[in-house]
Amino acid sequence: MIIKDTRYLVFKVTEQKPKTKVISVINKSSQRPIAKILWYPEWRQYCFLPNPGTIWNNTCLNEVNSVIDMLMAERRTAKVEEGGRL
């Protein structure tokens, strides 16, 4: 499922875990995955893991940040509804 489509990147859910998602960041021109966004339990937040050898500019990093912000907001909302801890 695509959660965001920008000029250069596509953000696609590649795995739905019980409480979190794994997002593949795909380069539109090559159609190849170039990074992942996933839940990092030690920090209790979503983190960005770029593939080795990839280069990121401000625009693309801002798009990644906006997706992480969206995922964190979803997680906070779900936790409040459950009455639990983030």
Integer Cα distance of 81 and 26 in angstroms: 32
Task: Report the chain's mean pLDDT, rounded to a whole number.
Answer: 93
Q: Would you state the pLDDT for residue 84?
A: 61
Tell me the per-residue pLDDT of 58-85, one tens digit each, with 9 for 90 and over.
Answer: 999 999 999 999 999 999 888 777 776 5
Integer Cα distance of 86 and 40 in angstroms: 12
**Cβ atoms of residues 56 and 36 within 8 Å:** no
Locate tokens 């030690």: which residue?
Answer: 42
Locate tokens 């959660």: which residue?
Answer: 3
Cα–Cα nearest to 60, from 1, 68, 77, 19: 68
pLDDT top residue among 77 and 55: 55
Q: What pTM was computed for the model?
A: 0.89
Q: What 8-state DSSP symbol labels residue 25?
A: E
